[in-house]
Copies of this chain bind each other. A is one copy, B any other.
Amino acid sequence: MPIRRLPERALHDRTELYAVLDAGWVATLAVAAGDRAQVVPVLYGRDGDSILVHGSTGAGTLRLAAAGRPVTLCVTHLDGFVYAASLFESSANYRSAVVEGVCERLDGDAAHDALHMLGERLMPGRSAEVRANRPKEYAATMVLRLPITDGAWTAKARAAGPSHEPDDDPQVWTGVLPIETRLGTPVPSELAAARGIPLAASIVARLFPDR
């Protein structure tokens, strides 16, 4: 099925930004440190108008973020290679979001709630299947909330076929080679395999949401 050409475009609507954020699980978190940018990949989840990230209390970049250093969080989805009739016109389909701001470090009940939200985003339904975190485990985990502020985010997307020019070679195939990300077949731990434990219901529901 041929695809329709849509332009590369900036997304101006929070609904579109949130769709980009909600389609991913991993981001880069960057802070300036002198004349360098310090960058670490993080798992994240959107919670309303904020982004939650967590990590070990020992992680350097997260500690700078927790101390109030401005952060830049970037999420990118590479959706396909766009094969045009020249390399110059060739491109990529993608969705990306950049959110800047200052994180708030969460404590107490707010941290517990945020870890629960983040867990549900990353492993939906799992928290009901496993024991609660212990106090020393909460203490070892840093949870940060990055508010999504007007004027402090950008999002872009390209979802289109190639550009054509009048003098393109008409015999060259042009189009899009999609890149797909999907969940694979669950692999049990040695213990779960040895005991014959059935696959977690939360994973069954995640893999087959329509059943």
State which of A11-19, A86-94, A143-151 sits at the interface with chain B. Answer: A86-94
> Contact flags (1/0) for A160-185 with B, using CB distance below 8 Å?
01101000111111111111111111
Using known A-B contacts A32-B34, A87-B119, determine if residue A161 contacts B187 with beta carbons closer than 8 Å: yes
Q: Residue of B at shortest CB range from A163? A: B189
Q: Residue of B at shortest CB range from A32? A: B32
CB contacts under 8 Å to B, within A74-104, are: 74, 76, 78, 80-81, 83-88, 90, 92, 94, 96, 98, 100
CB contacts under 8 Å to B, within A176-207, are: 176-195, 197-200, 203, 206
Tell me whether A187 and B175 are in contact (CB under 8 A): yes
Tell me whether B190 and A180 are in contact (CB under 8 A): no
A1 to chain B, nearest CB (A): 7
Q: How far is the CA of A15 from the CA of B184 in the complex (A)?
A: 27
Q: Residue of B at shortest CB range from A4? A: B190
Looking at chain A's contact residues, is the secondary structure mostly helix, strand, loop, or mixed?
mixed
Q: How far is the CA of A39 from the CA of B90 in the complex (A)?
A: 23
Number of interface residues of A (CB under 8 A): 93
A69 to chain B, nearest CB (A): 7
Note all chain B residues with C-beta closer than 8 A to A69.
35
Note all chain B residues with C-beta closer than 8 A to A39.
28, 30, 37, 39, 72, 74, 98
Q: How far is the CA of A184 from the CA of B126 in the complex (A)?
A: 30
Tell me whether B174 and A191 are in contact (CB under 8 A): yes
> Contact flags (1/0) for A1-30 with B, using CB distance below 8 Å?
111110000000000000000000110101
A47 to chain B, nearest CB (A): 16
Tell me whether A173 and B198 are in contact (CB under 8 A): yes
Does A31 make an interface contact (CB < 8 A)?
Answer: yes
Q: Which listed residue (B26, B85, B131, B180) contacts A76, Cβ 8 A?
A: B26
**14 extra interface residue pairs, beta carbon distance < 8 Å, beyond A41-B74, A86-B131, A86-B137:** A2-B188, A5-B190, A26-B94, A28-B76, A30-B39, A35-B70, A38-B72, A84-B130, A90-B119, A129-B173, A161-B187, A162-B189, A177-B184, A177-B203
